[in-house]
Structure 1
Amino acid sequence: MDGLSAAASVIAVVQISTQIFELCQEYYSEVKDARKDIQRLRNEVTSLQDVLTNVEDLAEDSGSANLSVLNLLNQQDGPLRQCQKDLVGLVAKLELGQGKNTMKRFGMRALKWPFSSKDVEKLLITIGRHKATFNLALSADHIGLARAIKDDVARLNNSIAELQVGQKEFLVDERRQKIHQWLSPLDPSSNHNAACKKRQPTTGAWFVGSDQYEKWKTTSNSFLWLHGIPGCGKTILCSTIVQDVIRQYQSEPEFAVAYFYFDFNDSEKQRHDNFIRSLIVQLSTQSEKTPESLEALFTGSRQQPTTDALTSTLQQIIGDFQQTFILIDALDECNQREELLELMETIVGWKSEKVHILATSRREREIEEALQPLITDQILEIEETLRDGAHGMFRWVVCQLDSLKKCLKLDALRRALNSLPKTLDDTYARILRSIDEEYSQDAFRILQWLAYSARPLRIEEVAEVVAVKIVEKAIPVTCSGVATRRILRKRL
């Protein structure tokens, strides 16, 4: 192979690099948010051109001393051919980001920088390696050049493989995004975030720590219905459950979580078909690749799919995961309630061991009759029971909650709810009766001090009341800061 052939190869590479520079110039003037990366790539290409110019001079002066170096550079899979191949690929991607030709014919520009900062970094490394190889060739260090070429080819092949994987992932994500846009799903995260803002850190802790909740998560094909009166906090509780399930399973690639909030303030979030679309997109996003069933739905017809087709696709996507959790808030706010309840029956009827459904709603006969056969467990309406019995007495509710917290089993909880005292006096009487006889005298003494204390006692002072045994009827003057002497003398 003579020097002229090598010179021709160098010229071809220089021309391609010039084309890249011009394309970068165009992007630089149009795409403002990527100028830093564009400038870096443009500078590196310019630097490569300078090195290639020196190689071209070496080829034109192809004496015997230089011929072996040029042959190494210009061999079939050598650095010049590899550099040309990489630059041609770069041109293709830059031209791809310019948009469709039809847009250009109508005078519209559609420039979109096709590389992320990570991609640009890889391109700079690749071009830098080519420069290093050519600079080594210019030094005419034949042994060093041969070794460098061998190592460089291996590194370049690895870089190419990485770029190909990255490009493939980019195309897959782009395709998936296109399919998702076609489905036009609603985003339930706005409702979820709004509910989370209203939630206190410990809100719903009583539920996510319950046996029923754990049973629902671990039982195959489980369905749990939480019902309550309007305003008792079902949506807030649902947001707590969503957060807990996501936190527990987000690191498990074979587990998927999808949720939806029906909303009477948003007519689009009252339709059951929009509910299905949202579930499909959420589950698809959590899959490593676009589910085949969703791809088939999209390629089969670009018309909007039927509800049956959406339901079938949902079933197949759920089957792609080891476990799927679906959480639904406010079933009663769906304006296509009959269709939604039929869908619930259909999903449970799949008899899939992989799916777990939790739903909230008001307790309405239509919903209860439809869901009752599906329920694998059911939470009692603690909020409703307490609200009905409180009659405006906040202290009564607090006392009942203190009592209910001691119930470790569902049966005990149900018995406690069915035997709540009617009045606050009855509540206090029950509390006093529950004091162990061994501590009854201590409790009596503490209540005496609390009744006649000039201010609320600190816990340390209450401890002293129990610890100190008073023999005399009179109280020392030193205690006058805690209790009223005259009253205590009289009472004791």
Structure 2
Amino acid sequence: MDGLSTAASIVAVLQLAGTVLNCLNSVRNAPKELEKVFGEISSITGALFLMQTQAERAQQDQEGAGMLFTAVRSLSTPGGPLEQFKAALKTLASKFSPVGAVKKLSRTLAWPFEKSEIAELLLSLERLKSYFMLALQSDSLYLSRETKGAVNDLSEAVESLRLGKDDQECRRILNWLNTADMEQKHQDVFSLYQEGTCSWFLGSDAVDAWLGGEGNHMLWCPGDPGAGKTVMTSVVIEHVKAKFPDEETVVAMACCHLNDPDANTSISIISSLVKQLAIHGDTLHREVHELYHKMTKG
């Protein structure tokens, strides 16, 4: 299915979802279950709006349409999640209208579901929502990987723009802070990422809570050596960058390696983080200049 067909299918489902949401909003003496159903459908609708945009972009970019947004298009295959969601919406609509379509609604409607029915419906909606969200995340990571080569080629030019080509002092200060290129190390690890993996982790409740600032601020990921923790961490870093793209947000990282004990010291880790924070923006922070001159004079 091409981008235009995918977008058209999504539009049809969005229209049906809007009708069902209007019905749910008109229910009198609404039970708590209705709020959950309303929330799940609203969340899926939001994801579908993003999917519609991506599908339309894929159609406009004919050269990249065949390889981009693969995960999103896969959801619109016959019998796929998009059709399943449409079927669930039709079931909801039929409950509010004996003819299977909502035509004329009174101001208030009765809640037509038994608890067992709504429990099964909620499970289905939650599962479908996870499919749509993971598809969007998968495409975002794929795009990040596709642009990795261009980012590496332009890294020196970007650094020159930030620091100024003739600003040798800034370069000296950055090298004094830490000589390691943490971004390059991260990109080397991320190049090992295989498309379609790690989606289960990015869509987990633990990651959602961590990104939302809920509970513990540490996302702990234990595992045996060689299990893929480093690559998974690199994928999370790219996910965070994509989720918070504004210039006021800085994503800093520190990597510890068993075979590089010098990089595992507290001084090395802190100086690496300071370097990454210092380089953010058009110029180095004044405090970094002052610290450099204070520590190196005499």
Q: What TM-score do the two structures reach when normalised by structure 1?
A: 0.25
Higher relative contact order (CA 8 A, sep 6+): 2
Greater C-alpha radius of gyration: 1
